[in-house]
Amino acid sequence: MTRTATASTALLDQVDAAAADARRLWAEHFVPQLDQTSPVPSTSLGLQRVHAAFIAAVGGLRTGTTRCCPHVDLSAPRPMVWVAWRPRVIQCGHPECMLALDVAATGQDDYVCDGCSRYAPSTLTAVSWTSGVFLLGADLCRRCRTTPGAVA
């Protein structure tokens, strides 16, 4: 095995461990604080829009347009948190760093859907899920939580 392959394997092992930590943190800290834990279909338009914002935030770590706590380092994988109501902020999974994301508040104060930007006070629900090392959260209206073509 070459040195590069060994380094890549070590990094992948770190990513796996961080992803497992992210799932554990999600179960311990996110799920008890959020209303709905059932997965939203990945084909949901709202979820696709939220994912696009998430990808932009990750890209912003490279360009400096996304704020983060000092523990976020893409070369040293660890659980990281992104929520749609703070789209330009990524924090690590330390509870004190997650405070900056208002995870407990879930952003429902404004009753605006993160998927479609509609004011939807009666159907807005906080949803959360993991993607690799990331814990993700968003407030989605009923329409944005369902698959395209489904009756909401």
Provide the binding-site residues for Zn ion, judged by CB under 5 A: 46, 69, 71, 92, 94, 97, 113, 115-116, 141, 144
Please report how close the Cβ of residue 100 comes to Zn ion at its closest, in angstroms. Answer: 9
Question: To the nearest whole angstrom, how small is the minimum distance from the Cβ of residue 14 to Zn ion?
Answer: 17
Closer to Zn ion by CB, 7 or 104: give it: 104
Closest distance to Zn ion from the beta carbon of 101 (Å): 11
Report the 3 state secondary structure along the chain: CCHHHHHHHHHHHHHHHHHHHHHHHHHHHHHHHCCCCCCCCCCCHHHHHHHHHHHHHHHHHHHCCCEECCCCCCCCCCCEEEECCCCCEEEECCHHHHHHHCCCCCCHHHCECCCCCCECCCCCEEEEEEECCEEEEEEECHHHHCCCCCCC
**Whose Cβ is closer to Zn ion: residue 27's or residue 76's?**
76
Which is closer to Zn ion, CB of 46 or CB of 137?
46
